[in-house]
Amino acid sequence: MGEPVLVALLFADRVIEEKNHKKGIIGTFSRFYAEKFPAQFPPWFIYAAVTNISGENAFSLNLVYDKAQQVILPISGKCKVENTRSVVELIFPVFRAVFPDEGIYTLTFNIEGNPIGSRILEVFNRPETPPPA
């Protein structure tokens, strides 16, 4: 079978699932701007997709404030897969996550306790003038 493969790991304003099971991922981003800290942001979503797994697998996602090595968002669960070629798509709404300070936050996706991928979320003080898009 080989190692699990992380197909996608995204931060988004919204993720919707249509009746035909297609996902609509709206407003992807990689940074937040806050007026003050600690900060909370309006609800947002994490979309993860993994393949090359079979059977029942425990997974976890941890969003960690790098500077303090503080987990600010722990997510865990199980997924069941019958075909290793299948892509398992997971959607997590995030409400009320508290960001203690500006800096780098790393989201790591784990299968059976083993990290299979990660990405960074940057959190900054809101600048006086917005940066160019």
Quickly state the pLDDT bin for 25 (edges 50, 70, 90). very high
pLDDT grade for 130, boundaries at 50, 70 and 90: low
CA angle 88, 89, 94 (to 5 degrees): 140
Is the bond preceding 100 in cis, omega lying within 30 degrees of 0? no
pLDDT of residue 37: 95
Statement: residue 127 has pLDDT above 80: no
What the block records as the tokens of 41 is 């942001």
Using alpha carbons only, give the angle 132, 42, 106 rounded to the nearest 5 degrees: 70
Which of 90, 85, 81 has the alpha carbon at shortest distance from 110? 90
Beta carbons within 10 angstroms of residue 61's beta carbon:
19
pLDDT over 80 (residue 2):
no
Average pLDDT, the chain: 93
CATH level 3 topology of 5-125: Immunoglobulin-like (2.60.40)
Residues 63-79 have a mean pLDDT of: 96
Q: How far apart are CA 129 and CA 57, in angstroms?
A: 46
Per-residue pLDDT reduced to its tens digit, 41-57: 999 999 999 999 999 99
Would you say residue 132 has pLDDT above 90?
no
Q: What pTM was computed for the model? A: 0.90
Q: Per-residue pLDDT for 6 more than 80?
A: yes
Q: Where are the domains of the chain?
A: 5-125
Say yes or no to pLDDT of 131 above 90: no
